[in-house]
A and B are shown apart, each in its own frame.
Chain A
């Protein structure tokens, strides 16, 4: 279903018009609240906020290149225990994908949420974002948007996050409504695509007019994805060779201090408590001595490489590539690169793509009577 709509521009400011559109959505009786990145009074930050009064949408800033948390986690908080009302959420494509994964894991519900997805222009790491807004005081989001759409570098000092640089899925496929930015004539209006029946209903209700599909969009996206894929493959190659022995992998992860920030930030890591913090890994004191006696030396804290490999086993098939793990790491371990490199292979192994569809069960939940015969046996 790809029905295109158009909302006429009210003025020159894109952000204002987008806010206007969001207001019209929130004004609908059926929508109780709207989750959208908003400028917060504290510390110049943009964080997701759940807004229930349309007039308070003036601080909403979905174009901001800030990405402090993956909002799928927020949706989980809002819907996991059952939400008896409808809300709308403005999400990045990777957030939508994470949301889909969490729905499969019964950590989120899809029914109460209308998803509005923006073409993703990318984001900075938390630290770089602070640098960027200082550089572009006042109109940081608009400047960023303009530069990204023109294919120019938004900043001279900081780069957008590595995850975004290699993101080949910048289009919110899983949204009910897509707000197109790439390959559309923004001066002619806001181009919206209804991807579900529900999205169409809302667009009809707010009075958006039907429109032709933007002509250049496909071409522009094709090129964009091609560039991103090339970038991605380069990262895969570099990362793969950086970890292609256990020794190199341990060097790669050498900075790990078992803070578990990566797993807290990860939208797919849904465990209430990580197994590595449970009694399973609460070793007996004597045990440490026995271990060190075996090899003569024991790195402390233990279980770091073990932890990361286990996390790859648990979560790489659900990795949506949002980059929050790297963003969260206090010691700048390039975890996103590692996860995406591995996830790309593990997802391909099961012909699975994290976040693609709610109907695809997680790979380890299912099996076929006959499959993977090549891994059975000791033949080479």
Chain B
């Protein structure tokens, strides 16, 4: 039996907004694929590129960084700093064949439980389409 590829997505979610939304999605019994592993951080602005590089080189099929909308950041502008950093990372990693679908940044507010669930659904569907991260099977790190 050919087992369907189930991607593993690591999501760095900010404590204030997206984590709250993810929690809301859970308590609202919204169904979203179990492929995502949430790592709660206080702010997207504290997500070090090293975490993302490590996750991808270690075999995560995709990484999501998600935080407050611009203007909402509990720490004023951590999300805006994160956006620049993601811009840089995408530029570098795309050169090494990491597809844009594998590295996402979204803003998901505290009440957007549905959006959180949809984001995960969408990401899982996209990653299923492009297939597993090649680092999953080879030693890279």
Q: Which residue of B lies closest to A347 (CB)?
A: B91
- B104 CB contacts on chain A under 8 angstroms: 377-378
Q: How far is the CA of A245 from the CA of B93 in the complex (A)?
A: 9
* Given A245-B96, A245-B134, A246-B96, A297 and B91 contact (CB-CB distance below 8 Å): no
User: B100 within 8 Å of A by Cβ?
Assistant: yes
Number of interface residues of B (CB under 8 A): 43
- A377 CB contacts on chain B under 8 angstroms: 104-106
Count CB-based A-B contacts (< 8 Å).
Answer: 122
User: B53 within 8 Å of A by Cβ?
Assistant: yes
Can you list, as one digit per residue, whether each of A239-253 has a CB less than 8 Å from chain B (1) or not (0)?
Answer: 010011111111000
Q: How far is the CA of A245 from the CA of B80 in the complex (A)?
A: 29
Chain A residues touching B, majority SS: helix
* Given A305-B140, A313-B53, A378-B119, A342 and B84 contact (CB-CB distance below 8 Å): no
| A363 in contact with B84 (CB, 8 Å) | yes
Can you list, as one digit per residue, whether each of B85-98 has a CB less than 8 Å from chain A (1) or not (0)?
Answer: 11111111101111
Q: How far is the CA of A248 from the CA of B80 in the complex (A)?
A: 33
| B126 in contact with A376 (CB, 8 Å) | no
- B26 CB contacts on chain A under 8 angstroms: none
Q: How far is the CA of A369 from the CA of B106 in the complex (A)?
A: 15
| B140 in contact with A367 (CB, 8 Å) | no
A sample of 17 more A-B contacts (CB under 8 A), given A295-B138, A309-B92, is A245-B96, A246-B98, A247-B134, A248-B97, A295-B137, A302-B141, A303-B141, A310-B49, A313-B49, A313-B89, A346-B92, A349-B91, A363-B84, A367-B81, A369-B80, A377-B105, A380-B101
16 contacts between A and B (CB under 8 A): A243-B95, A243-B96, A246-B98, A275-B50, A305-B140, A306-B50, A309-B92, A309-B96, A313-B49, A346-B88, A350-B88, A364-B88, A377-B105, A378-B106, A378-B122, A378-B123
B interface residues, Cβ below 8 angstroms from A:
49-50, 53-54, 57, 59, 70-71, 77, 80-81, 83-93, 95-98, 100-101, 104-107, 119, 122-123, 126, 134-135, 137-141
